[in-house]
C-alpha cells in the first residue's frame, strides 16, 4: 500500500515554488539592540546585527530572495556573514544559493544537508522534491549544538531530534533574550509535523520544553510561522500539544482506530481558534495519532473526514 502511494505521488510531483515571485510585504520587528525578526513570505527570519556584522536565521523562498535581501538591507547594509537554517523545508532555505554566491556561509544540522542532497518524497504535501544544487547546500554542519560568538553574545543553535522534521534546531540569543524556534513553534495555528521527514509530536513538545527552560516571562519567541510570541504563547502551545496528545492516547486505549478518533473530535476545544488557517483538526489528530503509534509517515485522511 505504501509503495503504491509513493508511485502515485511521484507522478503527481509538482513544483511548489512557482508563482511565488509576486511583490512581498515585509515587516521588521526590533527585539533587542541587535536582534530583529523579519516577516515576509515563508518562515520568519531572525537577524543579528552589530559591531561584528550581520547574520540571519533562515532565508525564506528562493524566488523572493532579492526582495528578502532588500528588506534585510533596511536593517543593515553589512554583508551577510552567515545563515543558519532551522530545517530543510523550501520556505526556510530558499535564499541559500544566492547568499552563498555572495560569500555567506550556510550553517545547518547534519540532517538538513542529508535531506537537501537526496530526493524527498512527502506524502502529506503530495510532492517530490529533487536534490538541491551544490551551491544551496550548507557547507558547515553540526551534530548536537553550535554557537556563534558575535555582536556581544553567544547565540547557540540546539538540535532537537524528531520534532517538526529530523533536523530542526532552535536558536537562543541569551543577552537579547530571544529564541528563534523555527517550525518547532507555530504561533496561533496548529503545527505541521512532517512525519515523512522524521517529525513527531513528542519532539515538538521536547523543543518547547527546552525553550521554556531557557526563557523568562519577557523572552521574545520567534515562531516559524505566525506572529511574534512571548513565553506565555509558547507555554500555551506546549500545554495544548500535551493535552491533545493525552486526549488522543485515551481514545487509542479504547481500541479506536484513526478514523474513529478523528470523528470523536479530541481537539474540538482548540479547533475553532487554531484549525482554520492551514493544518486542519483531522490532520492535527493524524500527526498525534501516528506519532503515538510510531507510524513514521503521513496517512492521508479521506476528504469526508476532514471537516
Ligand atoms: Zn517547515
247 near 267, Cβ under 8 Å? Answer: yes
Strand 45-50 and strand 53-57: the pairing is antiparallel
Residue 302 Cα to ligand 1 midpoint, Å, equals 23
What is the average pLDDT score of the chain?
93
Residue 88 Cα to ligand 1 midpoint, Å, equals 7
Distance CA(302)–CA(22), nearest Å, equals 33
Over the stretch 100-141, which tens digit does the pLDDT of each residue have? Answer: 999 999 999 999 999 999 999 999 999 999 999 999 999 999
Confidence at residue 21, expressed as pLDDT on a 0 to 100 scale: 63
Q: Please state the pTM of the whole predicted model.
A: 0.91
Residue 65 Cα to ligand 1 midpoint, Å, equals 17
Instruction: Give the residue among 174, 238, 254, 176 at the shortest CA–CA distance from 203.
Output: 238
Residue 225 Cα to ligand 1 midpoint, Å, equals 9
Residue 269 Cα to ligand 1 midpoint, Å, equals 25
Residue 295 Cα to ligand 1 midpoint, Å, equals 19
Over the stretch 54-99, which tens digit does the pLDDT of each residue have? Answer: 999 999 999 999 999 999 999 999 999 999 999 999 999 999 999 9
Residue 98 Cα to ligand 1 midpoint, Å, equals 20
Confidence at residue 141, expressed as pLDDT on a 0 to 100 scale: 98
Over the stretch 140-181, which tens digit does the pLDDT of each residue have? Answer: 999 999 999 999 999 999 999 999 999 999 999 999 999 999
pLDDT-based confidence at 9, cuts 50/70/90?
Answer: very low
What residues are paired with 156 via a beta bridge? 147, 172
**pLDDT over 90, % of the chain:** 90
**pLDDT over 70, % of the chain:** 91
Residue 223 Cα to ligand 1 midpoint, Å, equals 11
Residue 253 Cα to ligand 1 midpoint, Å, equals 31
Distance CA(66)–CA(73), nearest Å, equals 11
Residue 30 Cα to ligand 1 midpoint, Å, equals 24
For helices 281-293 and 231-253, angle between their N-to-C axes, nearest 10 degrees: 70
183 near 216, Cβ under 8 Å? Answer: no
Sign of the four-CA dihedral 109, 114, 115, 116: positive
For helices 201-214 and 231-253, angle between their N-to-C axes, nearest 10 degrees: 150
Residue 281 Cα to ligand 1 midpoint, Å, equals 18
The grid coordinates of residue 178 equal 530571544
Q: Rounding to the nearest 10 degrees, give the CA dihedral for residues 263, 269, 275, 280.
A: -20
Q: What string of DSSP letters covers the chain?
A: -HHHHHHHHHHT---TTTT--S----EEEE-SSSEEEEESSSSPEEEEEETTEEEEE----GGGHHHHHHHHHTT--S-EEEEE-SS--HHHHTTHHHHHHTTPEEEEEHHHHHHHTS-EEETTTTEEEPPPPGGGS-SEEESSEEEEEETTEEEEEEE-SSSSSSS-EEEEETTTTEEE-GGG-BSSSPPP--GGGT--HHHHHHHHHHHHHH--TT-EEE-SBSS-EEHHHHHHHHHHHHHHHHHHHHHHHTT--HHHHHHT-TTHHHHHHHSSSSS-HHHHHHHHHHHHHT--S--PPPGGG--
Q: Does 22 have pLDDT greater than 90?
A: no
Amino acid at each position: 500500500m505504501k509503495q503504491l502511494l509513493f508511485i502515485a505521488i511521484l507522478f503527481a510531483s509538482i513544483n511548489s515554488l512557482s508563482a511565488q515571485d509576486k511583490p512581498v510585504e515585509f515587516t521588521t520587528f526590533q527585539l533587542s539592540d541587535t536582534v530583529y525578526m523579519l516577516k515576509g513570505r515563508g518562515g520568519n527570519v531572525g537577524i543579528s546585527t552589530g559591531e561584528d556584522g550581520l547574520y540571519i536565521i533562515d532565508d525564506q523562498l528562493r524566488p523572493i530572495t532579492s526582495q528578502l535581501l532588500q528588506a534585510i538591507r533596511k536593517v543593515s547594509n553589512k554583508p551577510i556573514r552567515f545563515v543558519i537554517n532551522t530545517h530543510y523545508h523550501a520556505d526556510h532555505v530558499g535564499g541559500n544559493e544566492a547568499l552563498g554566491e555572495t560569500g555567506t556561509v550556510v550553517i545547518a544540522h547534519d540532517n538538513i544537508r542529508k535531506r537537501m542532497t537526496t530526493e524527498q518524497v512527502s506524502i502529506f504535501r503530495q510532492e517530490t522534491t529533487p536534490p538541491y544544487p551544490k551551491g544551496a547546500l550548507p557547507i558547515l554542519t553540526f551534530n548536537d549544538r553550535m554557537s556563534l560568538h558575535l555582536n556581544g553574545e553567544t547565540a547557540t543553535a540546539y538540535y532537537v531530534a524528531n520534532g517538526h522534521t529530523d533536523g530542526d534546531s532552535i536558536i537562543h540569543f541569551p543577552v537579547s533574550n530571544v529564541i528563534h524556534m523555527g517550525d518547532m513553534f507555530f504561533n496561533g495555528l496548529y503545527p505541521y509535523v512532517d512525519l515523512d521527514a522524521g517529525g513527531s509530536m513528542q519532539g515538538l513538545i521536547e523543543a518547547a520544553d527546552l525553550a521554556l527552560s531557557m526563557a523568562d516571562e519577557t523572552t521574545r519567541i520567534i515562531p516559524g510561522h505566525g506572529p511574534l510570541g512571548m513565553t506565555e504563547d509558547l507555554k500555551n502551545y506546549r500545554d495544548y500539544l500535551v493535552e491533545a496528545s493525552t486526549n488522543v492516547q485515551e481514545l487509542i486505549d479504547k481500541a479506536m482506530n484513526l478514523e474513529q478518533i478523528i470523528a470523536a473530535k479530541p481537539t474540538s476545544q482548540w479547533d475553532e481558534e487554531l484549525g482554520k488557517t492551514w493544518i486542519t483538526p483531522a490532520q492535527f489528530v493524524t500527526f498525534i495519532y501516528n506519532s503515538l503509534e510510531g507510524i513514521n509517515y503521513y496517512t492521508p485522511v479521506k476528504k469526508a473526514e476532514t471537516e
